[in-house]
């Protein structure tokens, strides 16, 4: 365990305001994207037909190349603004977003649906056990199962839904300085429950411990989902003890501190791109509009690009295996009751 000293390290105080981390597209670049939409219309190409070579937008491609360098070797995130979602059809926004993603990596399945373009919206009216990204409740700081994550806002909530982003490396350094024993326990890791998204025949809990922090070639990476770790350890018959509870509490408190957590509302036409191994992301709960066509709606990309950061095999990016007839739903209380009954 050593203090992280690289360009990917930042705290809130490093930014005077949003413009310090915002990439604002120009009118000429938007015109390129409009041309791309017309070209895809003429070619009759849907999202699944679009490959990296189809994105013939040289100025925007150059911006995305700079963005990738920022994600890999710089601060690790950026906010892209100015996409005209108010006049684009949703299909247009989806194709542009997907095509941008092809310049940064390859899209992978995000759930048992096999969806490579995820829709982040509240579905709890239809499914009270919907996975967290399909619900309106608060999301605690966590990482996803990707190298690069993109979140593209089409519509904002009536109230709430504030995006929260924390530099996981800054959390690491603070824990190292203040509570190194807790950090050592986080390096050891935890068994993670797969919450119904394991491949057919696989164990619902990882057979190995997944380190919260790990280091390869001097690059520290983070992998964390609190509920998955708590359930995984309980399923293994090794529930959190006082040390684990204290380490988790210190980690979560530090990740949510005013000095380390950047807070902003992702507005329509903005995309948040970030390196998933150096950032924890979260969201406040939200209240939505009554009208279905006004409700909060984000598009999500999980991208694989192993060049982004060297990592240990325990946090390998594999996506979620599609399973016919399944939905992204998991009854936590029922699963916990079943686990306890078996013991």
The DSSP bridge pattern shows strands 279-283 and 271-275 to be unpaired
Nearest to 136, CA basis, from 126, 121, 151, 150:
121
Asked whether residue 4 is assigned to any structural domain, the reply reads no
What is the structure's pLDDT at 326? 77
Nearest to 82, CA basis, from 27, 39, 37, 35:
27
Percent of the chain with pLDDT over 90: 81
Give tens-digit pLDDT for 204-245.
999 999 999 999 999 999 999 999 999 999 999 999 999 999
With contact defined as beta carbons under 8 Å apart, do 205 and 193 qualify?
A: yes
Which range is least confidently modeled, 7-11, 37-41, 91-95, 123-127?
123-127
Asked whether residue 5 is assigned to any structural domain, the reply reads no
DSSP state of 222: E
Mean pLDDT of the 79-106 span: 98
Tell me the pLDDT band of 1, cut-offs 50, 70 and 90.
confident
With contact defined as beta carbons under 8 Å apart, do 162 and 149 qualify?
A: no
Mean pLDDT of the 114-129 span: 84
pLDDT exceeds cutoff 70 at 339: no
Give tens-digit pLDDT for 298-323.
999 999 999 999 999 999 888 888 88
When divided into structural domains, the chain yields a total of 1
Asked whether residue 7 is assigned to any structural domain, the reply reads no
Mean pLDDT of the 35-64 span: 97
Give tens-digit pLDDT for 159-210.
999 999 999 999 999 999 999 999 999 999 999 998 878 888 889 999 999 9
Mean pLDDT of the 45-55 span: 95
With contact defined as beta carbons under 8 Å apart, do 96 and 294 qualify?
A: no
**Per the structure block, which two tokens stand in for 105?**
């990596």
List Cα–Cα distances, 54 to 18, 43, 44, 267, 328, in angstroms.
Answer: 32, 10, 12, 28, 31
Asked whether residue 256 is assigned to any structural domain, the reply reads yes
Distance CA(343)–CA(337), nearest Å, equals 10
pLDDT exceeds cutoff 60 at 91: yes
What domain range is 48 assigned to? 12-342
pLDDT exceeds cutoff 80 at 93: yes
Asked whether residue 1 is assigned to any structural domain, the reply reads no
Mean pLDDT of the 40-69 span: 97
What is the structure's pLDDT at 123? 83
Helices (DSSP H) in the chain: which residue ranges?
A: 27-43, 58-73, 90-102, 168-178, 180-188, 226-235, 242-255, 332-342
Tell me the pLDDT band of 122, cut-offs 50, 70 and 90.
confident
Give tens-digit pLDDT for 67-81.
999 999 999 999 999
Distance CA(31)–CA(37), nearest Å, equals 10
Asked whether residue 6 is assigned to any structural domain, the reply reads no
Cβ neighbours of residue 144 closer than 8 Å, sequence gap 6 or more: 276, 281, 302
Asked whether residue 210 is assigned to any structural domain, the reply reads yes
Cβ neighbours of residue 101 closer than 8 Å, sequence gap 6 or more: 107, 150, 301, 303
Asked whether residue 328 is assigned to any structural domain, the reply reads yes
Tell me the pLDDT band of 135, cut-offs 50, 70 and 90.
confident
CA dihedral 234, 235, 237, 242 (to 10 degrees): -10
For the domain that residue 226 is a member of, what is the CATH number?
Answer: 3.60.130.10
Q: Is pLDDT larger for residue 68 or for residue 340?
A: 68
What is the structure's pLDDT at 322? 85
């Amino acid at each position: 365990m050593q203090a992280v000293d690289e360009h990917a390290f930042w705290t809130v105080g490093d930014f005077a305001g949003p413009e310090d981390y915002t990439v604002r597209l120009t009118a000429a670049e938007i015109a390129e994207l409009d041309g791309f939409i017309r070209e895809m219309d003429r070619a009759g190409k849907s999202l699944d037909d679009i490959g990296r070579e189809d994105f013939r937008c040289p100025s925007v491609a150059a911006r995305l190349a700079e963005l990738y360098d920022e994600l890999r070797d710089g601060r690790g995130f950026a906010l892209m603004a100015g996409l005209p979602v108010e006049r684009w059809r949703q299909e247009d926004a989806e194709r542009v977003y997907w095509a941008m993603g092809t310049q940064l990596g390859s899209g992978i399945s995000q759930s048992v649906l096999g969806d490579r373009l995820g829709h982040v919206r509240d579905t709890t009216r239809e499914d009270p056990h919907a996975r967290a990204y399909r619900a309106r409740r608060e999301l605690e700081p966590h990482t996803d199962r990707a190298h690069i994550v993109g979140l593209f806002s089409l519509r904002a909530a009536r109230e709430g839904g504030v995006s929260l982003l924390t530099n996981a490396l800054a959390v690491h350094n603070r824990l190292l300085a203040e509570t190194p024993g807790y950090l050592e326990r986080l390096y050891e890791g935890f068994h993670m429950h797969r919450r119904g998204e394991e491949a057919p025949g696989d164990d619902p809990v990882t057979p190995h411990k997944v380190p919260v922090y790990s280091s390869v070639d001097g690059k520290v990476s983070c992998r964390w989902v609190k509920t998955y770790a708590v359930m995984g350890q309980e399923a293994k018959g090794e529930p959190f003890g006082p040390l684990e509870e204290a380490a988790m509490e210190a980690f979560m408190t530090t990740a949510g501190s005013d000095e380390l957590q950047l807070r902003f509302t992702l507005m329509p036409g903005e995309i948040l791109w970030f390196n998933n191994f150096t950032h924890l992301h979260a969201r406040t709960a939200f209240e939505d509009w009554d009208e279905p066509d006004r409700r909060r709606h984000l598009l999500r990309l999980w991208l694989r690009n192993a060049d982004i950061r060297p990592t240990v095999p325990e946090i390998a990016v594999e996506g979620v295996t599609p399973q016919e007839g399944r939905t992204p739903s998991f009854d936590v209380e029922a699963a916990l009751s079943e686990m306890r009954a078996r013991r």
